[in-house]
Amino acid sequence: MENRFDDWLVLAGRLLIAALFLGGAAQKALDPDPAMALLAARGLPGALVWPALAFNALAGLALALGWRVRLVALLLAGYCAGTSLFHFLPDDPWQISIFVKNWAIAGGCLVLAAQRAGRFALQPHR
């Protein structure tokens, strides 16, 4: 019985994390200027927002559907760790909270990578 409940928990976790990345993709699509400004402030081209949007959308969709969950979750953990550096602004409590949240999301992605897709997925893992 425990394994069946675990599969539901993994599905819920996958969908919640996927929602974050799908929402991030939608936010970048509807209003790319804040992300472009953040990139520009770090000396990077604002056009990098578009590959970030594509990665967020594809990775979120892959998690939601349960496709290559281990690989996608590992990539997302790295993405969260890397993008957290944009928010490491010790004088800005709001940005520091985003920095810490990115690391927490990376941790959740690592757990998901270890747990894998569960039973309810395009590529189930038991």
Model's pTM, two decimal places?
0.91
* Predicted confidence (pLDDT) per residue in 72-105, tens digit: 999 999 999 999 998 999 999 999 999 999 999 9
Please name which of 82, 70, 33, 75 lies closest in space to residue 56, comparing C-alpha atoms. 75
d(CA 41, CA 125): 42
Mean per-residue pLDDT, 27-46: 95
Please name which of 57, 50, 46 lies closest in space to residue 20, comparing C-alpha atoms. 57
Tokens of 41: 């402030």
Q: What is the pLDDT of residue 126?
A: 61
Query: What is the pLDDT of the chain when averaged over all its residues?
Result: 94
Residue 21 has pLDDT above 90, yes or no: yes
Rounded to the nearest 5 percent, the helix, strand and coil shares of the chain are 80, 0, 20
Are 68 and 121 in contact by the 8 Å Cβ rule? The answer is: no
Higher-scoring residue by pLDDT: 98, 3: 98
Residue 1 has pLDDT above 80, yes or no: no
